[in-house]
DNA sequence: CCAAAAGTGTTTCACTTACACCCATGA
DNA sequence: TCATGGGTGTAAGTGAAACACTTTTGG
């Protein structure tokens, strides 16, 4: 298609910071670049936006190509538009972040030919382009948002114990929480469905399983009740 | 410059939701489009991003062209990337919002030839493109952010009374605040500098003037103290 | 029976809310 | 002197934080 607006224009990409949680802590998925620039260096997965493809759709596609997963929590983070962020030409990148549940989906050996690996968020190497800046913003956003919106559930299996939930918050917020107060608080929010099931294969008393009740959450939200940990 | 990445690419614009506060309430600056598409319809000011121009710089430039003002609070809002948001071709827009102080800068008669006007945020007409959606998101962001970050001061003159400050919050949050509790709260935050000045030309007891103490705010922020109204 | 985590209430303290009158000033 | 907004304190209520032991289960 010819350009209707006949101006030169920057190139447009999406980049996607993919977070996962396992028993070691919070992880981020990085790929090793196979081509210049920054060949051999780690980077956040991303790719070009084609004309006619919505930017959101490009991010979903990128995430699917990288993890093989669909229906993952994905949120736009920020758009990075400095002209020198790519050494070749002006490339504007719309960054997203995604939350995937590494406990249910074992993604150790990632998808395609390119080398991909999960890094602890405390141990991220020097990345290509301005990707350290993008990663830092994503982590800051996650830490800020998890306290006010029930997005942390996306990092857990559908059915989880209160201890798993507490541990998730402790890892992301980087501070210990009081067990009794935590349980009182989350149960009082009335957004958890207590299941008639208990965890399996543990060498101690099995804990009750819960699931996030999105319907109840939305109902409360409409009433103006605010979620907070 | 030839494109190093030889892909077709969407066009890229910035749009800027400009908020102002006067004694009638919260306003937004709109311009009347002089060309197709949506000729004659109101729209949020915006324009194309040139290759080599940072996206932030394009927003600053746009804001300056529209209001004649520099050093205005400007924050990136969201990037809108649906392919059908412009009827001609795929145009991705990085939206920003700005806060200007209409009390000090009287911008009634705006700048350039294009017709521009301030609209009450409660009375915004049907806008071009997806600009109603952009405006709604900007207003939601402002309402949410003003409670946790001291951005509301950007809408006031440098020197203001506590009543002006309270009124600003009442207008944006759309709810009345208790005068004594409000004063107790904002003064206890210790981010206001009490000036040895009082307001002028009022037909009643003149109120003390205050200014926002950004240095004190940053100091508290580093200590982990959180601002909230 | 032992190890390991599950589960459970009460008290204290801080902060938020509700509320009404006198004061200073200019017209 | 009157109209207008400026400025101030206290008591009650609500929610957050601190804190330790008993129970259940599998090994």
Q: Are B159 and B195 in contact (CB under 8 A)?
A: yes
Smallest CA–CA separation between B228 and chain A, in Å? 14
Residue of A nearest to B13 (CA): A9
pLDDT given at position B112: 55
pLDDT given at position A111: 52
* Parts of chain A belonging to CATH 1.10.10.10: 157-222
Alpha carbon separation from B223 to A84, A94, A144, A153, B215 (Å, rounded): 34, 32, 17, 30, 13
Contacts of B48 in chain A (CB under 8 A): 5, 7, 9
Instruction: Match 């990136």 to its residue by tokens.
Output: B76
Q: How far apart are CA B97 and CA B87, in angstroms?
A: 24
The average pLDDT across B61-83 equals 94
pLDDT given at position A112: 56
Q: Which nucleotide is nearest to A198 (CA to C1')?
A: C6
* Parts of chain B belonging to CATH 1.10.10.10: 152-222
Record: contact A52-B4, CB cut-off 8 A: no
Please write the tens of the pLDDT for every residue from B93-148: 999 999 999 988 766 555 555 689 999 999 999 999 999 999 999 999 999 999 99
Please write the tens of the pLDDT for every residue from A32-84: 999 989 999 999 999 999 999 999 999 999 999 988 888 999 999 999 999 99
CATH C-level class of B11-145: alpha beta
Residue A153 CB coordination number (10 Å): 23
Whole-number percent of chain A with pLDDT over 70: 94
Residue of A nearest to B88 (CA): A4
Whole-number percent of chain A with pLDDT over 90: 86
Looking only at the bridges linking them, the beta strands covering B91-101 and B11-22 are parallel
CATH of domain A157-222: 1.10.10.10
Give me the architecture of the B152-222 domain, per CATH. Answer: Orthogonal Bundle (1.10)
Q: How far apart are CA A66 and CA A190, in angstroms?
A: 35
Closest residue by C-alpha to C1' distance, nucleotide D20: A180
Q: Are A104 and A154 in contact (CB under 8 A)?
A: no
Please write the tens of the pLDDT for every residue from B150-207: 999 999 999 999 999 999 999 999 999 999 999 999 999 999 999 999 999 999 999 9
pLDDT at A108 over 80: no
Q: How far apart are CA A90 and CA B166, in angstroms?
A: 44
pLDDT given at position B105: 78
For B202, residues 6+ apart whose C-beta sits below 8 A from its C-beta are: none
HSE toward the beta carbon, residue B69, CA cutoff 13 A: 18
Please write the tens of the pLDDT for every residue from B200-229: 999 999 999 999 999 999 999 998 899 999
Q: Are A130 and A138 in contact (CB under 8 A)?
A: no
Q: How far apart are CA A60 and CA A66, in angstroms?
A: 10
Alpha carbon separation from A112 to A74, A99, A107, A108, B2 (Å, rounded): 21, 20, 12, 12, 32
Whole-number percent of chain B with pLDDT over 90: 85
pLDDT given at position B2: 53
* Chain mean pLDDT for chain A: 93
* Parts of chain A belonging to CATH 3.90.79.10: 11-145
pTM for this predicted structure: 0.95
Reported as a pLDDT band with limits 50, 70 and 90, residue A2 is: low
Record: contact B92-A55, CB cut-off 8 A: yes
Record: contact B55-A90, CB cut-off 8 A: no
Q: Residues by CB within 7 Å of nucleic chain C, which ones?
A: A 161-163, 179-181, 183-184, 198, 202-208; B 178-181, 184-185, 202-206, 228
Residue of B nearest to A80 (CA): B55
Please write the tens of the pLDDT for every residue from A14-35: 999 999 999 899 999 999 999 9
| Chain D positions with a protein C-beta closer than 7 Å | 3-10, 16-20, 23-27
The average pLDDT across A158-182 equals 98
pLDDT given at position B66: 85
Q: Are A118 and A20 in contact (CB under 8 A)?
A: yes
pLDDT given at position B1: 47
Closest residue by C-alpha to C1' distance, nucleotide C2: A204
Q: Which nucleotide is nearest to A210 (CA to C1')?
A: C6
Residue A128 CB coordination number (10 Å): 20
Q: How far apart are CA A16 and CA A77, in angstroms?
A: 9
**In B, what residues contact A, Cβ < 8 A?**
1, 3-5, 7-12, 48-56, 58, 76, 78-79, 81-83, 88-92, 94
pLDDT given at position B14: 98
Closest residue by C-alpha to C1' distance, nucleotide D9: B180
Radius of gyration over every alpha carbon of chain A, rounded to an integer in angstroms? 20
| Chain C positions with a protein C-beta closer than 7 Å | 3-10, 16-20, 23-27
Please write the tens of the pLDDT for every residue from B124-137: 999 999 999 999 99
Please write the tens of the pLDDT for every residue from B60-69: 999 999 888 8
């Amino acid at each position: 298609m010819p350009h209707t607006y006949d101006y030169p224009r920057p190139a447009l990409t999406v980049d996607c910071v993919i977070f996962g949680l396992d028993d070691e802590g919070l992880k981020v998925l990085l790929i090793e670049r196979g081509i210049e620039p920054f060949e051999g260096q780690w980077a956040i997965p991303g790719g070009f936006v084609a004309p006619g493809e919505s930017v959101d759709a490009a991010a979903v596609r990128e995430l699917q190509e990288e993890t093989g997963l669909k229906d993952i929590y994905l949120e736009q983070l920020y758009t990075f538009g400095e002209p020198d962020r790519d050494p070749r030409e002006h490339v504007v990148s719309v960054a997203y972040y995604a939350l995937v549940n590494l406990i249910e989906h074992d993604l150790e050996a990632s998808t395609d030919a390119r080398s991909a690996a999960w890094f602890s968020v405390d141990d991220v190497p020097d990345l290509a382009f301005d990707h350290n800046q993008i990663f830092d913003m994503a982590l800051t956003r996650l830490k800020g948002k998890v306290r006010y919106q029930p997005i942390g559930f996306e990092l857990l299996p559908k059915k989880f114990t209160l201890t798993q939930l507490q541990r998730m918050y402790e890892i992301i917020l980087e501070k210990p929480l009081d067990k009794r107060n935590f349980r009182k608080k989350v149960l009082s929010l009335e957004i958890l469905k207590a299941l008639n099931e208990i965890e399996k294969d543990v060498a101690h008393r099995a804990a009750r399983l819960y699931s996030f009740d999105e319907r109840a959450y939305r109902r409360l939200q409409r009433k103006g009740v605010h979620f907070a940990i």
